[in-house]
Chains A and B, each alone.
Chain A
């Protein structure tokens, strides 16, 4: 029989088999490790067990909370990010008006121009996107690796910018404002039922509002259980080299 579970969020469900009296527990665990799907659960009559339902609800709850979460500003402050905000005024508006999450006011753009290094080789931007938790979990590891790598290669790096209530396209406006060669935007991915910490990195050569979405090269699935953030940082350094050498990005770049 299954032992009592007190806190459902601390159990490793990649290994927990809830079938009653399984014939081969080891095989079940092996299967479970190969997928995020909820398998080897057992059942109560023709329905799922209470534990399965609770876990599903708990995961869904994490995803919902992630959307409404805020970036811990002490992290961006410590890393020396310059903070700006899109036209969005609060989380609710951010969800309802995707268009406003892509643009800045003229004052904000002037502020960026006035306070940030102009024409750097690489401009780094971080934004909450649909999961601030992803930024909280990964930024402190990926950012310094990225800086170390880029510095060692001799690239000039712009003042890092944190965008509150931002979407991916904010990188175009920022790039145009400060004339960066390569712009990297780190953004929280839409949370799923597997993790709320997954981050994507979008990057473009001479990122511009006039170019289509296909200008962007992306690495997704950056989190503890996916691509480790430090390894993604090192890989980004390589991609920056490629983008600068080829003077293009996105689908134009065949990598």
Chain B
């Protein structure tokens, strides 16, 4: 049983799903454990995130919402094995994020991700929206834009895998409008763009439809430019959070998040009254995007999940299963927040491990995981060399944690273990892809494989 809790700028949601792991190989082959089924058992209502102030979450109220959803679903806290709580969008940058996680940690099982950076959020939303499957289905690069209240999270998928992820300060609630049609909030993140467009969108003024539409049209154009890999205006580039996109062209485009509900509908906007349905610019942004893609209909793919994409991604797509022939020490698990040191691939194994000791030392008392791809089918000599280098870099009482992409973790782990003093613990897993700057959680084993969650917390360059 897996739980996904998504606390966003605007909404808070909970889902529960059941994940089935099965051996997919015939009995004459080495077992191959795979996630064979993900079934969503319960989707919560979509709650507004309770806020005390714009930058502070109302903790007791939030706790009450989550508690009531567990009750409604009829699920006990101890049934939860895995999952993810993620705090997303603008909320994640708020100072009380840690507090939120502390009060909610009871609700999750032994193995739950606690925080999310914008990149991880982008990836989870893309999986939840169904962009990974769509990239296989259409044999195309598929970009998913998850447009929330405060931010838009973009991820591009190819062959079912993420090839780029990024986030932008574009959202439905960056401008808020009251019942009388007066602007009551403009996020400072978009004021440079508003000036650039020479629009008069200022708190206290009566909002004009053309003015707001000029802004949402500008946002919509940015999505076209990103997906078609066209140049983006300098003012718009500033909306990227942390880092820009890689500039990959995507043949198919998908939208999720609250705003997407207005893209795939026939909601018409004729007056300010239609705009201010939720007191923000979300409906109009959706409308602008729908209009701009009207000529390009064939590129637009409907997301499987829209407003719930991130929470579903968090609840059922955050887990990856390791290869089946691995080496681990059950007593050591679960391991949480292990930083990754990724080695550059090199034919010369000695060269590959050069200077690794220094890097490990920088983490001081924190155990780290060494990660690399490794040869497809290493020779015994190569295994020995890799093991020697790994053993030489083992630090005192820390467990040795190694993550490789190709299928040889058992051979490597066993060889490393033979080289170390008895008592040094070794975890060596394969078929997991990680990058520098990622963190990994490794859960307790299920049928000789371990579930892992790779967390991309830091802004990538």
Contacts and interface: CB of A to CB of B under 8 A. Distances in A.
A219 B377 contact: no
Contacts of A30: 139, 159
Interface in A1-57: 24, 26-27, 30
B191 interface: no
Closest 6 CB pairs of A and B: A234-B410, A228-B377, A230-B411, A27-B139, A234-B411, A224-B377
B30 interface: yes
A140 B382 CA distance: 12
Interface SS of A by simple majority: helix
A201 B79 CA distance: 41
Contact of A152 (B28, B377, B378, B414): B414
Chain B interface size range: 20 to 34
B30 A227 contact: yes
Given A145-B380, A151-B418, A152-B418, 14 more contacts: A26-B139, A145-B383, A145-B415, A149-B418, A218-B28, A223-B377, A227-B407, A228-B407, A228-B411, A230-B378, A231-B407, A231-B410, A234-B414, A235-B410
Given A145-B411, A149-B414, A140 B28 contact: no
Nearest to A27: B139
Contacts of A230: 377-380, 383, 408, 411-412
B411 A231 contact: yes
Contacts of A141: 379-380
Interface string A206-231: 00000000000011110111011111
Contacts of A144: 380
A232 B28 contact: no
Nearest to A152: B418
12 contacts: A27-B139, A148-B418, A149-B414, A152-B418, A220-B28, A227-B29, A227-B407, A230-B408, A233-B411, A234-B413, A234-B414, A235-B325
A219 B415 contact: no
B30 A152 contact: no
A219 B28 contact: yes
B417 interface: yes
**Most chain B beta-carbon contacts within 10 A, residue among A145, A225, A230, A232:** A230
Interface in B394-437: 406-415, 417-418
B102 interface: no
A227 B325 CA distance: 10
A237 interface: yes
Contact of A237 (B28, B380, B412, B414): B414
Nearest to A239: B30
B376 interface: yes
A27 B408 CA distance: 29
Contacts of B415: 145, 148
Given A149-B414, A233-B411, A234-B325, A221 B378 contact: no
A229 to B, nearest CB: 7
B278 to A, nearest CB: 41
Contacts of A231: 30, 325, 407-411
**Most chain B beta-carbon contacts within 10 A, residue among A140, A221, A228, A229:** A228
Contacts of B378: 228, 230
Nearest to A26: B139
A235 B377 contact: no
Nearest to B415: A148
Nearest to A144: B380
A224 to B, nearest CB: 4
A105 to B, nearest CB: 32
Interface string A49-89: 00000000000000000000000000000000000000000
Contacts of A219: 28-30
A238 B417 CA distance: 14
A221 B377 contact: no
Interface in B313-340: 325, 327
A142 B378 CA distance: 11
B376 A224 contact: yes
Contacts of A221: 28-29
A140 B407 contact: no
Contacts of B325: 231, 234-235
A235 B29 CA distance: 11
A140 B415 CA distance: 16
